Structure 1
């Protein structure tokens, strides 16, 4: 059963922008939100950061977002307990929505497969998104290369993400975590990898603890269709 607070959303969401940041919302509220999105043509900005909507919640939201009456331009889903399982629904939204221009997915666990799916979808001409935020998530080498290639192919699209996950130096000093035959790595993070104007993304340096070297990442190739279909 939908809570009274969720039911009241249908009456409160009247303006062009609405903030429901850290409001204790769950997937149970998303049916009500979806109804608002499909009925309210004035709503253009929706901030849902810090709510545990989950993948099922996003699936319900996308039903309203895909409605022809929905004119939403900016959607913030920062820290909403999302995983790669919601990426198929979001991908359909990206290729179908004629109004959505900004999508914030910071601080979620989308994984490499989810982001690789985004990269394929965002290449399509029908995708009109102009800003995608993927901060506070870490990706393997192949995913980073795919994001770089997408940025170069579509300079009008701004992608913001972090390039590398730092490893604590203390870990390398612990013999239980780092034996004599283990080559410990310390990768330096960047604050912003996506840039405007089509400029090439700059690669953060990677260093071995015992010297400099080039990192070779061998990720298992998994078919996106096997995961999402």
Structure 2
């Protein structure tokens, strides 16, 4: 093995925007398992990965104790091996704090394995799931895991995941997450029927510091105004609505 990979002392390690693909990840993961590996951030955005790469990344995360940030956006990770990646979140050696899965072609069938990984994880703080089609029968499994009082996720990005009014009751229990400080719901399909649920989430959450609702154009103007007025009841809370 190349010594520069074996003793990985660089951080972050950027391989984004190239044709690294699954076979390249397979080679890299052998280095991630090495006890001398010191990689802190691994950037693999837009590198032609499929779910097969998850079958290599999962076992590596189970052994690696240094990696804190894994960025995988703009790949195609939906498939039978995606569960191998998120199951690694349950492994005690895994200390991942940031996982970027935005625009990775995930559907709601990925929500159940994600829920299991989140439920048994004690380190994840930043989770981006934006630009995936997550809403469906299994979406509630993931929201239940994220709503646990023991969930460590502090920043949750759910931009453009096809949220409709009917899904908002599943988000209200996020107020039980005592660590959640930032919630991004931009570019979804929320209307005035969601306003009461958004109010409940905002008012009941003990830790929420910022909620972003940009580009939900079907929210009536008066509902946007009423949501902005909640800032008077929650000093220090930022509510962003265009």
Question: TM tier, shorter chain?
Answer: 0.5 to 0.7
Q: Which residue of 1 aligns with 2:118?
A: 94
Task: Say whether the 8 Å CA contact 2:98–2:124 is kept in structure 1.
Answer: yes
Bigger CA drift: 42-51 or 9-18?
A: 9-18
Q: Deviations over 1:87-121 (max 9, x none)?
A: 11111111100111111111111114343323322
**Does residue 72 of structure 1 match 2:96?**
yes
RMSD after superposition: 3.3
**Does residue 57 of structure 1 match 2:103?**
no
Distance 1:144 1:5, change over 3 A: same
1:109 aligns with one of 128, 133, 137: 133
**Does residue 22 of structure 1 match 2:46?**
yes
Q: Which residue of 2 aligns with 1:9?
A: 28
TM-score normalized with structure 2 length: 0.64
1:129 aligns with one of 153, 159, 171: 153
**Does residue 35 of structure 1 match 2:59?**
yes
Distance 1:47 1:82, change over 3 A: same
Q: CA deviation at 1:144?
A: 2.1
Q: Deviations over 1:135-161 (max 9, x none)?
A: 0122221312432x2344446412211
User: Which structure has the greater CA radius of gyration?
Assistant: 1
Number of matched pairs: 184
Q: CA deviation at 1:52?
A: 0.7
TM-score normalized with structure 1 length: 0.67
1:56 aligns to what SS in structure 2?
Answer: coil
Q: CA deviation at 1:38?
A: 0.9
Distance 1:155 1:142, change over 3 A: farther
